[in-house]
Amino acid sequence: MIKIGIDLGGTKIEGIALSDTGNELYCHRISTPQDDYQGTLQSIAELISLIEAGTGKKGSIGICTPGALSPATGLMRNSNSVCMNGKPVLTDLQDLLQREIRIANDANCFALSEAVDGVAKDAAVVFGVIIGTGTGGGVVIDKKVLVGPNAIAGEWGHNPLPWPQDVELPGPECYCGKHGCIETWLSGPGIVRDHELHNSALFDTRPLDAETLDGKARLGDEYANETLQRYEDRMARSLAHVINILDPDVIVLGGGMGNIKRLYDNVPKIWGDYVFSDVVNTKLLAPVYGDSSGVRGAAWLWNS
């Protein structure tokens, strides 16, 4: 049987069919109907029909969404496709498709994709993080997503920044209502805010982002370099916390910040100062599948 993965995004819905060995048999993407819950479900169903007609085979179905199903209510929560929030997405889709499906959030699908046949394919315990406008995290153990009774395993973005320095307290206000969350420091907007705070005299009106900062640092801009050094220390502390609890073999870094290559060298040089061990064998690695991790991970939800 083929494995069908669907990645439900705010602007597009991507579908893929994988063979049992992970070969891509079929791939198609469509636009996401805007603010239309029923229309979105119908589009997913049509995409699956198209894939099954194209491959001539019926498949298992896994779906990657930005939000997660509440274990208390079964309703979608925290999705940036807001029309999905508060809806029984799993049961509605199962009714529509007349079969069992599996749903996971994007960070879990990312971690699973890399753990099954990506950069962490030889690792038993994988922590996957997606750092862009937010900071999502997921845990995969022996190629299975760890969900947990609260469906929150791996979501460390709203823990406080560990081992804070005096100047980092109380930390920036977070949309979740607290201060100093890891997300407020490590997200793309977080590093830009930190750079502007330390360099108000240099601040110009050109829009800045993390990639531009990285480019400036590579060209020898010492202010951008200092910002990245502060960032690397904060990322090292945040990941050291995870290593102390979970002790993963591999941490995979996805999202926009995963494109900043120096992090893979510099962060592991620092995290030993914070991990309660004489050695740190955990590896920090770049993903193999990048933007395709969501849709591939969705297909792999039926790996077992």
Q: Judging by DSSP bridges, how do beta strands 59-65 and 24-31 pair with one another?
A: unpaired
The helix/strand/coil state of 28 is strand
Instruction: Return the range that interacts with Zn ion (CB under 5 A); candidates 39-47, 126-134, 172-180, 216-224.
Output: 172-180
The helix/strand/coil state of 280 is coil
DSSP string, 114-151: HHHHSTTTT-SEEEEEEESSSEEEEEEETTEE---TTS
Calpha distance 179→161 (Å, rounded): 9
Residue nearer to Zn ion on the CB measure, 106 or 183: 183
Q: Is 176 in the site for Zn ion (CB under 5 A)?
A: yes
C-beta of 2: minimal distance to Zn ion in Å? 39
Lookup result for tokens 């770049």: 286
Binding residues with Zn ion: total (CB under 5 A): 5
**Residues composing the chain:** 304
Residue nearer to Zn ion on the CB measure, 158 or 198: 158
Phi, psi of 83 (to 5 degrees): -65, -15
C-beta of 177: minimal distance to Zn ion in Å? 7
Instruction: Return the range that interacts with Zn ion (CB under 5 A); candidates 153-161, 207-215, 219-227, 234-242.
Output: 153-161
Binder of Zn ion out of 102, 158, 218, 262 (CB under 5 A): 158
Binder of Zn ion out of 89, 174, 284, 285 (CB under 5 A): 174
Binder of Zn ion out of 181, 213, 267, 301 (CB under 5 A): 181
Instruction: Return the range that interacts with Zn ion (CB under 5 A); candidates 1-9, 166-174, 262-270, 284-292.
Output: 166-174
Calpha distance 224→214 (Å, rounded): 7
Both structure tokens of 209: 């982002």
C-beta of 176: minimal distance to Zn ion in Å? 3
Q: Is 51 in the site for Zn ion (CB under 5 A)?
A: no
Calpha distance 223→216 (Å, rounded): 9
C-beta of 175: minimal distance to Zn ion in Å? 7
Footprint of Zn ion (CB under 5 A): 158, 174, 176, 178, 181
